[in-house]
Amino acid sequence: MDDIKIIKGNFIDTADKDSFRINNSSYLIVDGELISGICKSLPEQYKSIQIIDYDDSLIIPSFTDLHIHAPQILQRGLGMDMELIDWLNICTFQSERKFENIKYAEEVYSYFTEMLYNFGTLRSCIFGTVHQAANEILAKQLIKNGLYAFVGNVNMDRNSPAYLTEKLHDSLLQTRNFILKYRDNERVKPIITPRFAPSCSHELLIGLGRLAEKYKVPVQSHLSENTSEVQWVKELYPEYRNYSEVYRKHGLFGQTKTLMAHGIYLEPEEIELALNSDVILVHCPDSNLNLSSGIMNVTKYLDLGLKIGLGSDVGAGHSLGMNQVIVRSIQSSKIKHAMDKNCRVLKHSEAFFMATKGNGSFFGNTGNFDKGNFFDALVITDNSPLSGKPEPLDSLYRFLYYGDDRNISVRYLKGNRI
């Protein structure tokens, strides 16, 4: 009974994507890092333990973000009148260049990790830059803030400005060093991160695929985000049937666990390939709207059985808060539905599931309050001037739609308040 905590409050999570699971005024028992149960009345054996009582507050699983660019945190809201390729060339590469400077990296990454913590994104899959020293600073800041993450040293050796273009050998060596340095780390793990096919040579993709296989490391990249980008990939890699096959044939599409951001314009064959491999497509609705990329047909993909995650894609996405990303994924599906009634609207439970349980599955047993999962949770306080007790589900909707970090009063990760 040494490390038992009894947490009382209104719990909301999802067992699957189809509905919310609500446990009003319940007791959740945490044994060390793990949940050992949730109940309406407290069993006799626990009666001597002091209850941590959150009253009318809502307790939800903490968020996981499966696609975010740490160096773009200060770029949110800028360049939003451009489409992808111009936005990269005119805006993004300039801001990533600044991470040559260690002092700048220290300052910005300290802010970035603090923001993740504030918004309750306690686990995430992050793109760094091509700069090794800065990537290590990012890893250090995440560890210091007690967060869990996969961090990728970004690879790019062509079609990029000289100041971000790596030499093939250096790019692979640096990635290998990063893997070796972090593969046994408890909190920050390496993930292989070719920026996207157009910024990588055939040889670089081959080398990265080999590293993924040799060290059993997951992969993250961008896929089929914008129609000009898709066309460009066809020109750069004419010998491949489609964009997904470029990654697949280089060992970077499901041979190890893979995250592919966007995936808006997939051909039927690519959908088939994704269905049959260990690939999660990461829906980034804010970014897709901001860069006029398009709208993923997320409900069609879900109904086909594809594994779909959710990402903020900061800085093309402007909201770090996954509550806002959840809302935008629903709103985007409504726009799609308005234009084509064959497209179904995304349910709130589906979007919430993706940001918690679905995304969490990339990290293992987290994302809902099932017995045996890590107790990773946020205590949400509804500050609205209400008469009487707030209805828990109403509080959740209010938080999703207009809440922010100020509504998150407590954060738990692996059973501990952080």
Residue 118, CA distances (Å) to 113, 147, 309 in order: 9, 11, 21
Nearest approach in angstroms of CB 344 to ligand GUN is 25
Considering only residues 336 through 355, tell me which ones interact with ligand GUN, judged by CB under 6 A: none
Residue with tokens 């993740």: 116
What letter would DSSP give residue 162?
G
In angstroms, the Cα distances linking 199 to 16, 84, 281, 299 are 37, 13, 20, 30
The angle subtended at Cα 247 by Cα 242 and Cα 251, nearest 5°, is 140
Pairwise CA distance, residues 393 & 19, whole Å: 12
Nearest approach, Cβ of 199 to ligand GUN (angstroms)?
Answer: 7
Q: What's the chain's Rg over C-alpha atoms?
A: 21
Q: Interface with ligand GUN includes 131 (CB under 6 A)? A: no
Number of H helices, E strands in the chain: 15, 17
Is 412 a binder of ligand GUN (CB under 6 A)? no
Beta carbon of residue 313, minimum distance to ligand GUN (angstroms, whole number): 5
Burial 105-116, CB ≥16 within 10 A → b, else e: beebbbebbebb
Taking residues 175 to 204 in sequence order and writing x for each that binds ligand GUN by CB under 6 A, - otherwise, the string is --------------------xx--------
Residue type, 388: G
Q: How far is the CB of 359 from ligand GUN (least distance, A)?
A: 18
The piece of 38-46, 84-92, 139-147, 393-401 that touches ligand GUN (CB under 6 A) is 84-92
* Dist. CA 60–CA 47, nearest whole Å: 24
Nearest to 360, CA basis, from 37, 35, 63: 63
Instruction: Answer yes or no whether residue 313 interacts with ligand GUN by CB under 6 A.
Output: yes
* CB 200, CB 232: distance < 8 Å: no
Among 7, 35, 63, 69, binds ligand GUN (CB under 6 A): 69
CB of 274 to ligand GUN, least distance (A): 18
Cβ closest to Fe ion, residue 11 vs residue 127: 127
Residues that bind Fe ion (CB under 5 A): 261, 313
88 binds, among ligand GUN, Fe ion, none (CB under 5 to 8 A by kind): ligand GUN
Choosing from 123, 131, 222, 257, the residue that interacts with ligand GUN (CB under 6 A) is 222
Residue 270 binds: one of ligand GUN, Fe ion, none (C-beta under 5 to 8 A by kind): none
Q: Site for ligand GUN (CB under 6 A): which residue of 23, 92, 332, 407? A: 92
Nearest residue (CB) to ligand GUN, 35 versus 316: 316
Q: What is the three-class DSSP state of 365? A: coil
**Judged by CB under 6 A, which of 62, 95, 159, 287 binds ligand GUN?**
287
Binding footprint of ligand GUN on the chain (CB under 6 A) = 69, 84, 88, 92, 195-196, 222, 225, 287, 313, 316
